[in-house]
């Protein structure tokens, strides 16, 4: 159940295993998919389900699960191309979060408003940017490491982490324990080195890291130094003897710190050093000097991030040295990291401006976070951040959230929503065919079912409307060709995932293994050809080849071919609904794709094993296994005729027989009867009643 409905939500969340754009490098975000599966299986109330995804990090004392939930809005694409403007693509990600929130959760084309007021629905252009302000203060900045991330420790480090937080709580304060708990798990707040500018004899390396050559300089703007006595930074260098000089406000200003930089042999290292007391906010100017560098164009040091803070607390208390060592060890620990949302602190707050005509480089008036005037107002006493916005969104006074989800679930079950345009419930969308029913189910979803998706689904599928058979006559086709008035059961082509999964299940190949990293089943060679990306498709082994389709690795610039053929998407943006198509490519895939052939082969083996010695009985049994009903005489005759034709061919062509069975030479089990049954099984897997829900 959880996997089936997670498959739907991954389209809305634009979930993928890569970052998109040119290089399209890998992204480690599979734990978000696990969170979805668990949430659907546990029937997490839909309002909580949305709040945690939008603002789990802002909830009181969030656990790992709430942080991982916020990966919903870290599925945005990031641009790894060298020379790209990080602020441009950070802004693009923020706008994508706004658009996805309205499309996925409220079925509204709010993205129309980013350039001008909505031509049809009552939204004004500046309201778009007021809403964008809710998202504009997240910490992500298009970095290579995709900060901020949730760092999850293995067993030994997890024990060390627990002991350190307990020591801080017992010897310093609850506030200190909470601060370091968050910092060790997220490395936030820090200042990413991509904020450096004014480079001389240096540059941003691949748009991510501040790199300085010998005697190179750069600037870090607007650093709050009030009450800061410690500098922590992450860097790497391949040279001995380097020195880093930090000046206040200009290269001719006060030299506040000189830091020796050891050779890290190309590995990232975190250093903690004392920093002199300085009042106020300043621009810091950096200079690097290293006489060991002999070539003018050689980068001597790269910085990733900086943190200006107070000293590690508890000095003088029993166990301080052990605690401080544990802190250092945990900072350097190898961890599993998942991109999450995390809010800026007051020192890093971003002002939000209207973009003139939607152009992010032309800033207009400043705006504060707010919701459109036409909608219900923000609830009283909620913060004006993502958490306040999430509480507004799921307030029962908001008419759109429940209607959008009810309409979406209806579409999954009947093939069309009550309002067909799932992505647009506004004035230009197709009006609901049964508005009162949509109102009724939406009210019950919120009030009577307390946002329970399982109860809503049970209500719909146990109704007389859903339980009709789908037989049709000429009169019904003439009156209602698309069954919008539900005089018969719906007939719906299965999704790409469902077609693969039920084929694997009926052939007894399907792995029931749940959770974990994405897998790579068979894929033809030559599909992955992204520039600057050396990743290759490495086929998974054993049962991982046959896991449910939702676990298949999805690369945005080269999605899994058979999924795309059956209307899956690249998930570069939110996909509110899949438009079902019927094309010759689908038949070519289901008849000739290697996975389809493996399924047909194993189904044939099952038919022979369970159907007795006669081919006609084997075909009868196979049909009953697949369709849960007896085969009709007409179908049986057609399939028996196909079997006999194939049998005669394979008796004369041993090479073709072996190819069909998957053997390079004649071996035990290789016989024309089995090869012919594989052909029949393949045909049965392409029958209309197998491909469609009737």
Q: What is the DSSP letter of 546?
A: G
Largest CA distance in the chain: 94
Q: What is the pLDDT of residue 420?
A: 95
CA angle 178, 184, 190 (to 5 degrees): 100
Q: How far apart are CA 500 and CA 20, in angstroms?
A: 25
Six-digit token string for 338: 């998942």
What contacts 629, CB < 8 A, 6 or more positions away? 623
| Residues of the chain with confidence (pLDDT) below 50 | 665
What secondary structure letter does DSSP report for 250? Answer: S
What is the C-alpha separation between 130 and 106, in angstroms, rounded? 17
Q: How many angstroms separate the CA atoms of 694 and 689, rounded?
A: 7
Q: Which ranges in 397-483 belong to alpha helices (H)?
A: 400-414, 435-443, 453-461, 474-479
Q: SS3 for 233?
A: strand
Read off φ and ψ for residue 234, nearest 5 degrees: -120, 125
| Token representation of residue 57 | 């990090």
Rounded to whole angstroms, what are the CA distances from 3 to 42, 124, 527, 551, 692?
A: 12, 39, 27, 9, 20
CB 59 within 8 A of CB 44: no
State whether residue 445 is helix, strand or coil: helix
Strand partners, 274: 230
Instruction: List Cα–Cα distances, 46 to 196, 296, 404, 512, in angstroms.
Output: 42, 59, 12, 26
H runs (alpha helix) in 107-227: 125-132, 155-171, 174-186
Peptide bond preceding 148 in cis form (omega within 30 of 0) = yes
| Residue (of 324, 215, 233) closest to 273 by Cα position | 233
Q: pTM score, two decimals?
A: 0.95
Structural domains present in the chain: 2-138+350-398 (no CATH), 191-334 (2.60.120.260), 594-693 (no CATH)
SS3 content of the chain, % helix, strand, coil (to 5): 40, 15, 45
Q: Quick one: which H or E segment has residue 471?
A: none
Burial class (CB in 10 A: 0-12, 13-18, 19+), 547: buried
Residue 665: the pLDDT is 47
What is the phi/psi pair of residue 205, to 5°? -80, 120
Residue 387 tokens read as 């958490």
- The DSSP code for 527 is -
Q: Is 395 exposed, middle or buried (0-12, 13-18, 19+ CB in 10 A)?
A: middle
* Tally of CB atoms within 10 A around 406: 26
Structural element, H or E, at residue 652: helix 633-652
The pLDDT score that the predictor gives to residue 664 is: 56
């Amino acid at each position: 159940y959880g996997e089936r409905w997670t498959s739907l939500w991954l389209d809305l969340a634009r979930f993928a295993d890569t970052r998109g754009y040119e290089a399209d490098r890998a992204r480690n975000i599979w734990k978000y998919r696990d969170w979805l599966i668990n949430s659907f299986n546990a029937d997490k109330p839909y309002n909580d389900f949305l709040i945690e995804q939008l603002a789990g990090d802002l909830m009181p004392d969030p656990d790992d699960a709430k942080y991982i939930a916020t990966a919903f809005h870290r599925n945005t694409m990031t641009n790894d191309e060298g020379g790209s403007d990080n602020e441009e693509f950070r802004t693009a990600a923020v706008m994508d979060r706004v658009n996805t929130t309205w499309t996925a959760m409220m079925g509204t084309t709010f993205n129309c408003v980013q350039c001008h007021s909505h031509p049809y629905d009552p939204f004004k252009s500046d309201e778009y940017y007021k809403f964008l302000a809710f998202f504009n203060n997240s910490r992500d900045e298009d970095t290579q490491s995709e900060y901020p991330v949730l760092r999850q420790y293995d067993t030994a480090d997890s024990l060390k982490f627990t002991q350190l937080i307990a020591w801080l709580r017992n010897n310093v304060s609850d506030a200190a324990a909470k601060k370091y708990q968050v910092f060790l798990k997220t490395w936030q707040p820090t200042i990413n080195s991509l904020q450096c500018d004014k480079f001389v004899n240096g540059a941003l390396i691949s748009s991510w890291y501040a790199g300085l050559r010998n005697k190179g300089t750069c600037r870090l703007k607007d650093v709050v130094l009030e009450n800061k006595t410690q500098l922590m930074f992450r860097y790497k260098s391949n040279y001995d003897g380097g020195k880093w000089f930090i000046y206040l406000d200009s290269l001719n200003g006060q030299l506040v710190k000189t830091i020796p930089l050891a050779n890290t042999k190309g590995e990232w290292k975190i250093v903690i050093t004392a920093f002199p007391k300085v009042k106020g906010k300043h621009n810091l100017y950096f200079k690097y000097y290293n006489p060991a560098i002999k070539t003018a164009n050689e980068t001597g040091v790269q910085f990733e991030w900086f943190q200006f803070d107070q000293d590690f607390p508890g000095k003088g208390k029993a166990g301080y040295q052990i605690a401080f060592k544990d802190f250092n060890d945990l900072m350097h620990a190898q961890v599993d990291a998942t991109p999450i949302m995390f809010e800026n602190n007051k020192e890093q707050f971003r002002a939000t401006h209207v973009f003139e005509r939607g152009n992010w480089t032309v800033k207009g008036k400043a705006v504060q976070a707010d919701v459109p005037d036409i909608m219900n107002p923000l609830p009283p006493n909620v913060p004006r951040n993502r958490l306040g916005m999430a509480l507004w969104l799921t307030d029962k006074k908001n008419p759109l959230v429940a209607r959008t989800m009810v309409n979406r679930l209806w579409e999954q079950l009947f093939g069309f929503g009550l309002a067909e345009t799932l992505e647009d419930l506004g004035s230009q969308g197709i009006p609901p065919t049964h508005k009162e029913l949509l109102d009724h189910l939406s009210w019950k979803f919120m009030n009577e079912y307390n946002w329970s998706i399982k109860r809503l689904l049970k209500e719909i599928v146990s109704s007389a409307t859903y339980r009709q058979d789908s037989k049709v006559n000429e009169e019904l086709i003439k009156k209602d060709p698309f069954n919008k008035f539900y005089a018969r059961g719906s007939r719906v082509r299965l999704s790409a995932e469902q077609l693969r999964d039920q084929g694997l299940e009926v052939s007894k190949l399907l792995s029931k293994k749940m959770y974990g990293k994405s897998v790579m089943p068979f894929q033809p060679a030559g599909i992955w050809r992204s520039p600057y990306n050396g990743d290759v498709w490495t086929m998974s082994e054993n049962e991982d080849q046959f896991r449910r389709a939702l676990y298949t690795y999805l690369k945005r610039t080269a999605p899994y071919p058979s999924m795309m053929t059956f209307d899956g998407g690249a998930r570069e943006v939110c996909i509110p609904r899949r438009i079902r198509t019927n094309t010759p490519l689908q038949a070519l895939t289901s008849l000739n794709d290697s996975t389809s052939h493996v399924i047909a082969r194993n189904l044939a083996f099952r038919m022979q094993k369970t159907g007795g010695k006669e081919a006609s009985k084997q075909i009868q049994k196979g049909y009953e296994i697949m369709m849960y009903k007896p085969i009709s005489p007409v179908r049986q005759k057609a399939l028996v005729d196909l079997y006999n034709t194939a049998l005669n061919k394979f008796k004369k062509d041993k090479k073709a027989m072996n190819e069909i069975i998957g053997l390079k030479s004649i071996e035990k089990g290789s016989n024309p009867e089995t090869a012919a049954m594989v052909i029949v099984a393949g045909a049965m897997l392409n029958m209309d009643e197998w491909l469609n829900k009737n």
